Amino acid sequence: MKELIEVPRLHEIRDIPETAILSVLEHALLVGSSSLIVEHPPIGNVSECYEGRVPPRTVMLAQLIVDRCKELSDLICWYRRSCAQLLTKHSIFAEDREEQELF
């Protein structure tokens, strides 16, 4: 999971309002997964730490949560990039280019 999360710019929030709450969700996912990793250091190396033994239920569940947080964060990132590509083709960026050409 990435450590630096982009905060949407004003024009992104205006044109794609869901980016605001998705940014909040990304921050929450990062804080949640970081907290679980601090609480359960074996996360990420469960098989090595327990050498074939079944890890405690809390460690297994924490590992699953951290994995899903990363997947959801990746999906949000892909969504935001897709929206940005749409914006450059259609919306505010096209208007900005026209205004810049006038000056």
> What percent of the chain stands above pLDDT 70?
80
Average per-residue pLDDT in the chain?
82
- Annotate the chain with DSSP letters as a single string: --S--PPPPHHHHHHSTHHHHHHHHHHHHHHHHHHHHHH-TTTT-HHHHHTTSPPPHHHHHHHHHHHHHHHHHHHHHHHHHHHHHHHHHHSHHHHHHHHHHH-
CA 44 – CA 25 distance, rounded (Å):
22
pLDDT higher than threshold 50 for residue 103: no
pLDDT higher than threshold 90 for residue 52: no
CA 61 – CA 43 distance, rounded (Å):
10
Q: Is pTM beyond 0.85 here? A: no
The mean pLDDT value for 50-75 works out to 92
User: Between 48 and 43, whose confidence is greater?
Assistant: 43
Question: What local confidence, expressed as pLDDT, does residue 73 receive?
Answer: 94
User: Between 92 and 79, whose confidence is greater?
Assistant: 79
**For the segment 85-102, what is each residue's pLDDT rounded down to a tens digit?**
776 765 544 555 555 455
